[in-house]
Amino acid sequence: MEQNEHPTTTQSISKSAVGIGLFAVLSAAVIAVTQVTTVDRIDANIREAESRALFEIFPASIDARLFDHRIELEAGQLNIEPGTTGYQAIQDDQVVGVILPVTSSQGYSGDIDLIVGINADSTIAGVRVISHQETPGLGDKIDRAKSDWIESFKGALRNGPDDSNWAVKKDGGQFDQFTGATITPRAVVKATGVALDYFESQKNLLLSPATREKSHAE
Ligand SMILES: Cc1cc2nc3c(=O)[nH]c(=O)nc-3n(C[C@H](O)[C@H](O)[C@H](O)COP(=O)(O)O)c2cc1C
C-alpha cells in the first residue's frame, strides 16, 4: 500500500525525465518557430529596403512601375543569388537606365549586397547598400541611413575598366575612405566596377525594351 502512495525513486526519475523531455521538445519547437519568423522578417526587411532604394535611384517620376520591369541577369558575373533580377527604368517607352544587383565578398565582415543604377549614357544614377554586416561606426557608413558617402557615386562616370580613378583615395582614386576603415568602401567601389563591367558588356541587351518583355511577363 505504502508503495503506491509514495513513488519509488525509479518512478520519480522517470517522471522527471518525461518532464525534461517534454520541456526540451517544447523549447526546440519554440526556437524553430522563432527562427523561421525571424528569417521571414529579415527577408521582408531586405525586400522593403530594396524597393525603397530602387525608387531612390530612379524615382517614381521616371518610372512608377520600375518594380515590374525586371530583367534576367547572369548571376555568376555579378556574384548574386541565381534568380535575382535587375530592373529597367522606362521613360516614354525608352530604357533610360538599369539597376543591377551586385554582391561584394570583400567586405570586412561578410557579403555586401548592393544595387547599382546605371544611366543609358553609362553614368551612375545611384548606388544603395541593401544589406551588410560591417562594423557600426566604421564600415557601416556605406549605408545611406548612416552617412551620405554612397551619394558620391551619383553622376560619376568611369573612364573604361582601367580607370585608376575608380578607387578609394588611399588607392589613388576619387572616392573617400573612412577614418580607420578602408576595406569596406574599397569593396563597394570595386563592386560598382563589376556592375559597370557587366553593363558595358551587355549594354545592348540591357537597354533593349525587348529584353524585359521577353524575360518577364508583366
Ligand atoms: C573590431 C574591428 C572592426 C573593424 N571593422 C571594420 C569595418 O567594418 N570596415 C573596415 O573597412 N575596417 C574595419 N576595421 C579596420 C580594418 O581592420 C582595417 O584596419 C582598416 O579597414 C584599414 O583601413 P586603413 O588602411 O584606413 O587603416 C575594423 C577593425 C577592428 C579592430
134 vs 147: CA distance, rounded Å? 14
Read off the pLDDT band of 31 (50, 70, 90): confident
Tens-place pLDDT, residues 184-212: 999 999 999 999 999 999 999 999 988 87
Mutate to test the pocket of ligand 1, among 108, 111, 169 (most ligand atoms within 8 A of CB): 108
Q: What atom of ligand 1 comes closest to residue 185's alpha carbon?
A: 11
183 vs 155: CA distance, rounded Å? 23
Q: Show the ligand 1 pocket: residues with CB < 6 angstroms.
A: 108-109, 134-135, 138-139, 177, 180-184
Q: Name the amino acid, one letter, at 105.
A: S
Mutate to test the pocket of ligand 1, among 183, 186, 189 (most ligand atoms within 8 A of CB): 183
Q: What atom of ligand 1 comes closest to residue 177's alpha carbon?
A: 26
193 vs 215: CA distance, rounded Å? 25
Residue 90 grid coordinates: 522606362
Q: Any idea where the domains of the chain sit in the sequence?
A: 51-215
30 vs 161: CA distance, rounded Å? 51
Q: What atom of ligand 1 comes closest to residue 179's alpha carbon?
A: 26
- Cα of 135 vs centre of ligand 1, distance in Å, is 8
- Cα of 113 vs centre of ligand 1, distance in Å, is 19
Tens-place pLDDT, residues 111-164: 999 999 999 999 999 999 999 999 999 999 999 999 999 999 999 999 999 999
pLDDT value of position 213: 55
Answer whether 104's CB lies under 8 Å from 112's CB: yes
196 vs 123: CA distance, rounded Å? 9
Residue nearest to atom 9 of ligand 1 (CA): 139
Q: pTM of this prediction?
A: 0.82
